Amino acid sequence: MVKLHVKRGDESLFLYDTTVEKQVDEIIKEVTVIYNGRLKIRRICDEMEELAKHGTLLPPNIMGLTDEQVEELKLVDEWGEKCVPSGGWTFNKDPIGRRNGKQPNEHMQDVIKRTTEEAKAVVSKKQIQADVCLTLKMVQNALDILRGAVMIVYPMNLPPHDVIRHELENTEDLSGMQASLEVIEVTQTQLWFSGKEMYRDKKLADYVGRNEKTKVIVKLQKQGQGAPGREPVVSEEERKQMMLHAYRRQEELKVQDMTLNVIIK
């Protein structure tokens, strides 16, 4: 199997296992879904960490208002009263006024904490160092355990306006957010190898040859952004080793010169 080290710009993302006979179009589709899935998992985990601290998201008509304004306008978080965490809650005010402050008990907080850590570990860049390839199934499993944790802590489910629920139901609206700039539509995705765009109607073998036991770097790019920067001929680690060798050699020459001067004198 060919191992693709997928990067975007200079950032390493994940490893992907495939074969030289696979169509580039199919590889692009799978790699893009995995890439977007990683982003979704990160977004959900970030929100679930806030959920564990400050409870469910306030309705749009209350979010950001002061307690005095809510009281004056006689607004009520009806969903917050229905969607309460299992085992009860304690009040922990959200300093930015996004969530209702109904913090789950310590046991339920721990369920969220352990689950988000597990999900983040699945899509962590440390998997590259461990030589673990990321698959669609692994991404889906991570999403499933996050969904399961939400149902454990909130058996009545989250309010319909909560962003975590939207993410898990694939109805999220990222327009106007930084996250929207990161997501890439499958139809707009390009893969580049060695400074060349990999065309969808070709096979991987047309670019990397027929050796199934190879590992190459490919770059994920959004259509219209032009060619990504090429990989340096010498890696950062190799550059450091070369500098270290040059420094040691320089020190050795200094010692040799000092020894020679002593002998001459």
Say if residue 38's pLDDT is above 90.
yes
Q: How far apart are CA 218 and CA 14, in angstroms?
A: 11
Q: How far apart are CA 265 and CA 257, in angstroms?
A: 12
pLDDT 10s digits, 69-83: 999 999 999 999 899
pLDDT 10s digits, 173-192: 999 888 999 999 999 999 99
Mean pLDDT of the chain, nearest integer: 91
First to last CA, the chain: 65
pLDDT 10s digits, 91-138: 999 999 999 999 999 999 999 999 999 999 999 999 999 999 999 999
Give the pLDDT band of residue 227 (cuts 50, 70, 90). Answer: confident
Say if residue 262's pLDDT is above 80.
no
Q: What is the pLDDT of residue 67?
A: 87
Helix (H/G/I), strand (E/B), else coil: 143: helix
Within a 10 A sphere around the Cβ of 191, how many other Cβ atoms?
Answer: 24
Q: What is the pLDDT of residue 248?
A: 78
Q: Are 188 and 222 in contact (CB under 8 A)?
A: yes
Q: How far apart are CA 124 and CA 224, in angstroms?
A: 28
Least confident window among 23-37, 90-104, 216-230: 216-230
Q: How far apart are CA 63 and CA 79, in angstroms?
A: 13
Helix (H/G/I), strand (E/B), else coil: 170: coil
Task: Write the burial class of residue 147 (CB in 10 Å: 0-12 exposed, 13-18 middle, 19+ buried).
Answer: middle
Helix H, strand E, coil C: the string for 31-65 is: HHHHHHHHHHHHHHHHHHHHHHHHCCECCCCCCCC
Q: What is the pLDDT of residue 234?
A: 45
For range 33-45, the mean pLDDT: 97
Least confident window among 23-32, 40-49, 231-240: 231-240
Token pair of 25, please? 């179009």
The four Cα atoms 206, 187, 138, 38 give a dihedral, to 10 degrees, of 120
pLDDT 10s digits, 230-249: 766 445 565 576 677 677 77
Give the pLDDT band of residue 256 (cuts 50, 70, 90). Answer: confident
Say if residue 224's pLDDT is above 90.
no
